[in-house]
Amino acid sequence: MSRSIYGIGKENGMATQGRQNRFWAWPLAACMMAMASQAGAQSAAQSVAAPSDADTPPPTDADLAGTRCVSGEEKFLPGDYYYCLGTQTYGLNKYATSQRFFTTAASWASKPAQYVLGIMALNGDHQPVNKPLALAWFTLASERQNSSFKQAYDTAMKGATQAEREAARKLLVTMTPVYGDATAAKRAEARYAQGMRELSRLSAKGSKYCMAGMVDPSRPIADPNGCPPIETVVKMLDAAAVNVFEGWNGHVQVGPLEQVPAPEASGKP
């Protein structure tokens, strides 16, 4: 079976959508590497930058395998982190592992992961074709208002038989409590808020923060002072949070941290 992980195909108009979404997990790793590395940081960041042109050819296995995932992101945005691992392991031809990572990401409210799982099930990408399962994943991926995955859902649903739609509805009975926003997004938001509270506490001390996995092993940082300020890390995580929470009304971006001024002494000298 030909590779189909990032697009259903030009014949039904959804290839462009797949190209746009396949890169969502990459920016955080690229930016964190750029901040952490002193030598070759610019080229490292550029090597994983998402193309701006929708007509850019799909990435090769080598491109996907070379994706850098920041392990420390798991403490803040596990949906984005495991989606990145799914992309990476797919490029390494570890398809069962890749599917497992995408499924974990889906349980942390990653709509891109749910979309990819739908694509894999629909096209029989290294697994049997399962149209009801594909419909169920597309339903979950497109549940948010103005979802960019609505086209995939509409197209797949239009081409499905009544029996396939009914089978998908039955699957959703057990899938929605695990992967639907009512559970998964709230769970992911709680994890994100917990991590941000910890960064806020450290920021009050004027600390810097080296996130695990942000350093290229071939160019380790010898000086801890080379780590970025916490405010910079917060900004990057808040930007990456869009990959998980975009379109979900329950998420509020943190924005830049502000130092709280010391209280003025009361009373007269």
Question: Residue 208 carries which DSSP code?
Answer: B
Range with the lowest mean pLDDT among 26-40, 84-98, 163-177? 26-40
Mean pLDDT of the 160-186 span: 98
Ramachandran assignment for 44, one of left (phi > 0), alpha (psi -120 to 50 degrees), beta (any other): alpha
Q: 56 falls in which pLDDT band (50, 70, 90)?
A: low
Q: Any residues with CB less than 8 A from the CB of 106 and at least 6 apart, and which? A: 79, 113, 114, 117, 137, 140, 179, 184
pLDDT of 29 > 60? The answer is no
Mean pLDDT of the 233-239 span: 88
pLDDT of 204 > 80? The answer is no
Q: What is the pLDDT of residues 100-155, one digit of tens each?
A: 999 999 999 999 999 999 999 999 999 999 999 999 999 999 999 999 999 999 99
Instruction: Please list, residue by residue across 44-70, b when 16 or more beta carbons sit within 10 angstroms of its beta carbon and e when fewer do.
Output: bbeebeeeeeeeeeebeeebbbebbbb
Q: What is the pLDDT of residues 70-103, one digit of tens each?
A: 899 999 999 999 999 999 999 999 999 999 999 9
Distance separating alpha carbons of residues 42 and 31, to the nearest angstrom = 9
Residues of the chain with pLDDT > 90, as a percent, come to 50
Distance separating alpha carbons of residues 189 and 66, to the nearest angstrom = 29
pLDDT of residue 217: 55
pLDDT of residue 169: 98
For all residues of the chain together, what is the average pLDDT?
Answer: 76
Q: Which residue has the tokens 């990959």?
A: 243
Higher pLDDT, 264 or 142: 142
pLDDT of residue 20: 38
pLDDT of residue 92: 95
Give the other-Cβ count within 10 Å of 166's Cβ.
11
Q: What is the pLDDT of residues 243-260, one digit of tens each?
A: 999 999 876 555 444 443
pLDDT of 8 > 90? The answer is no
Decide: 31 and 39 in contact? Cβ < 8 Å.
no
Query: Pick from 206, 217, 184, 232: which is nearest to 77 by CA?
Result: 184
CA atoms within 13 A on the CB side of 221: 22
Range with the lowest mean pLDDT among 6-20, 45-59, 233-247? 6-20
pLDDT of residue 221: 52
Decide: 243 and 112 in contact? Cβ < 8 Å.
yes
Higher pLDDT, 133 or 220: 133
Query: Pick from 97, 83, 45: which is nearest to 244 by CA?
Result: 83
3-state SS assignment for residue 230: helix
pLDDT of 12 > 90? The answer is no
Decide: 82 and 110 in contact? Cβ < 8 Å.
yes
